Homo-oligomer: A and B are copies of this chain.
Amino acid sequence: MSQDPLVVFTPSGKRGRFAVGTPILTAARQLGVDLDSVCGGRGICSKCQITPAYGEFPKHGVTVHEDALSDWNKVEQRYDDIRGLPKGRRLGCQATVQGDVVIDVPPESQVHKQVVRKRAEARDITLDPLVKLFYVAVEEPDMHEPSGDLERLVLALKEQWDLDDVKADLHILQSMQPILRKGDWKVTVAVHLGDVENPPRIMHLWPGYYEGAVYGVAIDLGSTTIAGHLCDLATGEVVASSGLMNPQIRFGEDLMSRVSYSMMNPTGAQEMTDAVREGLNTLFAQIASEAEIDTSLIMDVVVVCNPVMHHLLLGIDPFELGQAPFALATSDALRLRADDLNLSVHHSARVYLLPCIAGHVGADAAAVALSEAPDKSDDLVLVVDVGTNAEILLGDKTGVLACSSPTGPAFEGAQISAGQRAAPGAIERVEIDPATKEPRFKVIGSDLWSTDPGFDLAIATTGVTGICGSGIIEVIAEMRMAGLVDAGGLIGSPEQTGTDRCFADGRTYSYRLWDGDDANGPIAVTNADIRAIQMAKAALYSGARLLMDKRGVDQVDRVVLAGAFGAHISAKHAMVLGMIPDCPLDKVSSAGNAAGTGARIALLNRAARAEIEDTVRKIQKIETAVEPRFQEHFVNASAMPNAVDPFPILRGIVTLPDLSFNAGGGEGDTGRQRRRRRRG
């Protein structure tokens, strides 16, 4: 007797012999090959598409003849007639083994598809969401063996999909019976696969085979903006993205003023809770409308946010977060019913909140940790998420430390005389000629330097309206390199600097960056602007330095800048200011909205939730407010780049004139000012 035919799957390389007539889907399952199916082999869903390869395969030691698979059967033919199969594809559940064959499983037919991330250094996400669809045929009721419809549905899920002990939410009990009968006892079931707190649950039923998708939303709930990505849970694709201003802004621009609002108004916390939930509902409506789906198809939600937003979303008064010891109500990850938060998504949808790391280091920082995975890094990485608070992570495979530091809003253009949010017309790039002290700059909306021909025309509609966060960093760093400002942060006089762009402005000097035009006045950098940036960057650096102390290192192998701001920052200029530790410039990278990405990972991969919860438990939390050395680091970090840290790598690339325009400069602000700004 000849051997059974050999079936080789690519790309996995898994292989085995199967009797003639075995469906490819069956062979794949027996070998543990990752081949998708929603309909369970009924030729309906086409998720199990495979591509047979014909000819000689010396690598596999196989010759595949034209008749290696069965001819098309009626089911497959009907599917092709109605929906059309791509050329060369077969349905894995219908095509059966007839001879030796090599079967390629295309990426879209894999259950655990890879969701590719744009950044080269980032790990891809393995798709394994909490909500999946299953098509089942349910036994009809039988008076001789009475049992509930639900119990037979649950049995079908067990027998046909090996799902154990699935429960149902109440609304399923209420709606199930007519759906089962409408679908002639065949239904598509959306199942929440369960987690550490909850057994698997039926979330939704459709009569017959449901062709549509189900969705999840990953939300980055910031103090200022709320951003969401709508993901197809079967493909991992982001099908729509949307954002809006956090409606809580009417209660206070920064977090601390919102905490104050709640302290001073008996219903303040509740108003803000209502506002943020309304904001989320607006976002759901917006994003669903963009994707042309119903919000009830949103079946899973992941939220990352800072601790104050976290508490306000949950309806917890953030009172305790406004004062030492900054006690969180809860720091663990939360699995809640969307209904309990009054969120307008699917009835049975759950909301997952990532764990908070500490009272100032929230679920957003945890999401950054999930996205950037310092705990999996071979080299020592510093991850900085820059906002009004900077969240800072330092670590590698052997351990991770975390802290937050109150940078205040200066990096976002607030507290800066000509500061503004990043918007067309804002100066974002600056160069100053060290010889002539003359500047040139670019504004958002144009690629031309201000000294280029045509610049005036290019900015005709936007004008030059101010300096955005990245612009202020560049201009001050350029001033420092051009010898216009000393290490202590004092701007020199025209005499000291040799340029009349420096001009007396009260008791200090300012630097005129732009002369202005008919529409907008001149733009200058004042010494107060520099002081504000010094405070902010000193807070950031001293937080990082404190973690380096704890870790016992003087330098880091690489730096990752997270957050929207981090995406636009120039590594060189940031280092000239001493915002970040000395490090080769090519080892400074931007991670974009890492918190949002972390939310998306937690949405698409359920194991990632347990993983980040475990990571966060192991992270060593440092509270800067009670660290005696923080103050010392802060004072040293007020200088540009630093009063004591030498920055040798930086000094190898750039020239930092050794000037002092005033012996008393650079003492930094007071602890009281800093404390007042904390959490702002």
Q: Which residues of B contact A359 (CB under 8 A)?
A: 143, 146
Do A197 and B331 touch (CB < 8 A)?
A: no
Do A327 and B149 touch (CB < 8 A)?
A: yes
Comparing A67-75, A312-320, A483-491, the segment that makes contact with chain B is A312-320
Do B141 and A325 touch (CB < 8 A)?
A: yes
Q: What are 14 A-to-B residue pairs whose CB atoms are below 8 Å?
A: A141-B327, A143-B326, A143-B359, A143-B626, A146-B623, A148-B331, A148-B356, A149-B329, A150-B331, A151-B331, A168-B330, A170-B314, A174-B314, A177-B329
User: Given A149-B329, A329-B149, A332-B151, are A177 and B320 neighbors across the interface (CB < 8 Å)?
Assistant: yes
Q: What is the distance, in angstroms, from A613's C-beta to the closest C-beta of chain B?
A: 12
Residue-by-residue, is A124-146 near B (CB-CB < 8 Å gives 1, otherwise 0)?
Answer: 00000000000000001111111
Do B332 and A148 touch (CB < 8 A)?
A: yes
- Chain B residue with the shortest CB-CB distance to A315: B174
* Residues of chain A having any CB pair with chain B under 8 Å: 140-151, 167-168, 170, 173-174, 176-178, 197, 199, 314-317, 319-320, 324-332, 336, 340-341, 356-359, 621, 623, 625-626
Q: Which residues of B contact A319 (CB under 8 A)?
A: 177
Q: What is the distance, in angstroms, from A273's C-beta to the closest C-beta of chain B?
A: 9
Do B356 and A325 touch (CB < 8 A)?
A: no
Contact of A148 among B144, B317, B330 (CB under 8 A): B330
CA of A328 to CA of B173 in the docked complex: distance in angstroms? 10
Q: Which residues of B contact A326 (CB under 8 A)?
A: 141, 143, 146
CA of A316 to CA of B327 in the docked complex: distance in angstroms? 44
CA of A608 to CA of B113 in the docked complex: distance in angstroms? 46
Contact of A329 among B148, B328, B336 (CB under 8 A): B148
User: Given A146-B326, A623-B144, are A173 and B314 neighbors across the interface (CB < 8 Å)?
Assistant: yes
User: Given A315-B174, A336-B170, are A328 and B149 neighbors across the interface (CB < 8 Å)?
Assistant: yes
User: Given A146-B621, A173-B314, A317-B177, are A167 and B197 neighbors across the interface (CB < 8 Å)?
Assistant: yes
Q: What is the distance, in angstroms, from A292's C-beta to the closest C-beta of chain B?
A: 31
CA of A314 to CA of B173 in the docked complex: distance in angstroms? 8
Contact of A324 among B143, B317, B336 (CB under 8 A): B143
Q: Which residues of B contact A332 (CB under 8 A)?
A: 148, 150-151
Q: Which residues of B contact A315 (CB under 8 A)?
A: 170, 173-174
Q: What is the distance, in angstroms, from A235's C-beta to the closest C-beta of chain B?
A: 32
CA of A185 to CA of B638 in the docked complex: distance in angstroms? 41
CA of A144 to CA of B320 in the docked complex: distance in angstroms? 16
A-B contact sample (11 more), CB < 8 A, given A170-B340, A173-B316: A143-B325, A143-B359, A148-B356, A149-B327, A149-B328, A149-B330, A151-B330, A174-B314, A174-B316, A177-B329, A197-B199
Contact of A330 among B141, B173, B317, B328 (CB under 8 A): B173
Q: What is the distance, in angstroms, from A328's C-beta to the closest C-beta of chain B?
A: 4
Do B176 and A325 touch (CB < 8 A)?
A: no
Q: What is the distance, in angstroms, from A649's C-beta to the closest C-beta of chain B?
A: 34
CA of A316 to CA of B171 in the docked complex: distance in angstroms? 9
Q: What is the distance, in angstroms, from A192's C-beta to the closest C-beta of chain B?
A: 13
Q: Which residues of B contact A623 (CB under 8 A)?
A: 143-144, 146
Q: What is the distance, in angstroms, from A331's C-beta to the closest C-beta of chain B?
A: 4
CA of A174 to CA of B332 in the docked complex: distance in angstroms? 15
CA of A329 to CA of B143 in the docked complex: distance in angstroms? 14
**Which among A144, A146, A197, A621 has the highest number of chain B CB atoms within 10 Å?**
A146
User: Given A141-B325, A177-B320, A325-B141, are A331 and B170 neighbors across the interface (CB < 8 Å)?
Assistant: no
Q: What is the distance, in angstroms, from A350's C-beta to the closest C-beta of chain B?
A: 12
Question: 8 closest Cβ contacts across the A-B interface?
Answer: A148-B331, A146-B358, A141-B327, A150-B330, A148-B330, A148-B328, A143-B623, A143-B325
CA of A168 to CA of B199 in the docked complex: distance in angstroms? 17
Q: Which residues of B contact A170 (CB under 8 A)?
A: 314-315, 336, 340-341
Contact of A325 among B142, B167, B320, B625 (CB under 8 A): B142
CA of A168 to CA of B336 in the docked complex: distance in angstroms? 11
CA of A618 to CA of B387 in the docked complex: distance in angstroms? 62
Contact of A327 among B148, B325, B330 (CB under 8 A): B148
Contact of A626 among B144, B314, B325, B331 (CB under 8 A): B144
Q: Which residues of B contact A168 (CB under 8 A)?
A: 330
Q: Which residues of B contact A197 (CB under 8 A)?
A: 167, 199
